[in-house]
Amino acid sequence: MKNENEIIDQIPRDILFQVLDNPYESMIIVNKEGRILFISKSYEDFISVSPEEAIGKHLTEVIPKGQLHTVVESGRAKIGATFTVEGQPRVIARIPLKMNGEVIGAYGKLMFWHTDKLGELYKKIKSLQGEIKLFKDTLNQIYKSNYGFENIIGNSPLIQHAKEIALQAALTDSPVLITGESGTGKEMYAHSIHRASKRRDNPFVSVNCSSIPKELVESELFGYEPGTFTGALKNGKIGKFELAETGTIFLDEIGDMPLNMQVKLMRVLQEKEIEKLGGKPKRIDFRLIAATNRNLEEMMEKKTFRHDLYYRLNVVNICLPPLRIMKEDLPVLVNHFIKEIRQVMPKDVRSISQESMGVLIGHSWPGNIRELRNLIEGAMIRCKDTQIEIDHLPPGLGNPSWVRLADTASGITLRGQMEKAEKAIIKETLKIAGQNRSKASKILGIHRTGLYQKMKKYGM
């Protein structure tokens, strides 16, 4: 490694002098006594002596209002200061020169011949700021939340409890883990939390971890610098975390993230710092929401999901109930979907028959709310009138093993079928809770007294 003297010695003296004496950056150098060691020729129009005669004189003898010598005394730089030459304001930088920690002089460099030039630079900066704002606005339109809590339909205690926790989470920046079966609306909750948070005007970036090939997860999440690997984009790539700067990143299907990436994600959450492939660490501001339909506790036992990452993610946990244990919400959901789909479909379907609703109540809904919406859309396509009938529903919906509804032709009313469903839900919840009534009432979102009354009503 060559030292500084060797590098300087290789630069021809006339080139160094051109750097010092260029007409665009007028320069003055003084020693620690404030005497001039060098002054650009471009100053000769503004001083009473020639540049050659100025050498060795104290700065104030040549430029009476000069302040460069004060930088020698203070040892602190003054950037962007102004002074007047022949009645015209100039913008300069005054910088101390040090050796072995001691101030040995200072130099002053003219940054702008006139404040008009500073005004031009300001205009350019404002223009660039406008372009950046336009870029951010466009980015926010692409990466924005599409749903709010008003889009989450349901009056059951389980849904109301989940919404309450989500609303509380929206007031904080803490990580959120949303769990539940496929089709229960995990992404809708993530969107809603972002929209209700202080980050609502910033990006919402959604990433499906299960859809990214394992070898590309790191570059997708954190990006890469130009030329990092063969086939890399010429200008590099911005990762999803960086796109989510000041906003929210939603990692869906977090249970499918490879173990090696779980380690790196843990570090990002701890340090709030990302590192592009081929790049340096960079601090970013983001809020993380994760979701999964997998049992992370079982995965931890099998060592396929890290304990430390789980505890870091699981600060706020929102468990979304499956549709089969909140069938009291089926009528309101069905009516909502009919109304919603009618807005985009040339159909005048406005209701569903009591018999059809009974069949829906008897279904086990393995695909949850997503399955219900798709089923209603298909029924509306087949329907030629204003009401969905049984023959518009998919054949062979069948009844789940734990809900045996009587044949709709037997004359059982919708209320009667709803009561059968409620009894089955209570029975199933008690089973899940190990027959612990306090735990079951908490899961159902009702008071223990209310649970006892319902059990008594149904002879349980």
Residue 126 in any domain: the answer is: no
Residue 138 has pLDDT above 70, yes or no: no
The dihedrals phi and psi of 255, each to the nearest 5 degrees, come to -65, -15
Same domain, 269 and 243: yes
* Contact (CB, 8 A) for 193 and 176: yes
Tokens of 127: 């223009």
Q: What is the CATH number of the domain that holds 403?
A: 1.10.8.60
Please tell me the distance from the alpha carbon of residue 248 to that of residue 241, in angstroms, as a whole number. 9
Higher-confidence residue of 323 and 10: namely: 323
287 and 410, same structural domain? no
Q: What is the dihedral of CA 55, 60, 62, 66, to 10 degrees?
A: 110
Q: Which comes out higher in pLDDT, residue 88 or 93?
A: 93
Which of 116, 138, 158 finishes a domain? 116
Query: 339 and 297 in one domain?
Result: no
The pLDDT value recorded for residue 386 is: 94
Q: Are residues 222 and 155 in the same domain?
A: yes
Same domain for 333 and 439? yes
Residue 118 pLDDT > 70? no
What's the predicted TM-score (pTM) here?
0.61
Output the pLDDT for position 187: 95
Span 260-278, average pLDDT: 93
Q: How far apart are CA 328 and CA 333, in angstroms?
A: 10
Specify if 136 maps to a domain: no
Q: In this model, does residue 352 exceed pLDDT 80?
A: yes
Strand-pairing partners, residue 351, are 387
Residue 246 has pLDDT above 50, yes or no: yes
User: Is residue 134, in this structure, part of any structural domain at all?
Assistant: no
Residue 346 CB burial class (10 angstroms; 0-12, 13-18, ≥19): exposed
β-strand pairing of 316-319 with 27-31? unpaired
- pLDDT band per the 50, 70, 90 thresholds, residue 143: low
**Do residue 251 and residue 309 come from a single domain?**
yes
What is the tens place of the pLDDT at every residue in 204-235? Answer: 999 999 999 988 999 999 999 888 877 778 78
Asked whether residue 304 falls in the same domain as residue 282, the answer is yes
Has residue 147 got a pLDDT over 80?
yes
Listed range (5-14, 114-123, 364-373) with the worst mean pLDDT: 114-123
Q: Are residues 424 and 312 part of one domain?
A: no
**Mean pLDDT over each residue of the chain, to the nearest integer:** 84
Predicted confidence at residue 408, as pLDDT, reads 43
Say if residue 355 is in the same domain as residue 313. Answer: no
Arithmetic mean of pLDDT, 413-423? 74
200 Cβ partners below 8 Å, 6+ apart? 145, 194
How many residues are listed for the chain in this entry?
Answer: 460
Within this chain, do residues 297 and 356 fall inside the same structural domain, yes or no?
no
Percent of the chain with pLDDT over 90: 47
Q: Residue 109: helix, strand or coil by DSSP?
A: strand
Residue 384: give the domain boundaries: 324-457
Residue 287 predicted with pLDDT over 90: yes
Residue 123: pLDDT band by 50, 70, 90 thresholds? Answer: low
Does 5 map to a domain? Answer: no
Give yes or no for a contact between 146 and 187, defined as CB atoms under 8 angstroms apart. no
User: What single-letter DSSP state applies at residue 386?
Assistant: S
Q: Is 2 within 8 Å of 22 (Cβ atoms)? A: no
Domain termination site, one of 270, 287, 319? 319
- What is the mean predicted confidence (pLDDT) over 370-390? 94
Q: Are residues 161 and 280 in the same domain?
A: yes
Burial class (CB in 10 A: 0-12, 13-18, 19+), 369: buried
Whether residues 105 and 176 fall in one domain: no
pLDDT digits (tens, 9 = 90+) for 304-335: 999 999 999 999 999 999 999 888 899 999 99
Higher pLDDT, 33 or 443: 33
> Which residue has better confidence, 99 or 198?
198
Total tally of structural domains belonging to the chain: 3
The more confident residue out of 408 and 222 is 222
Q: Where does a domain end: 267, 293, 319? A: 319
pLDDT at res. 399:
43
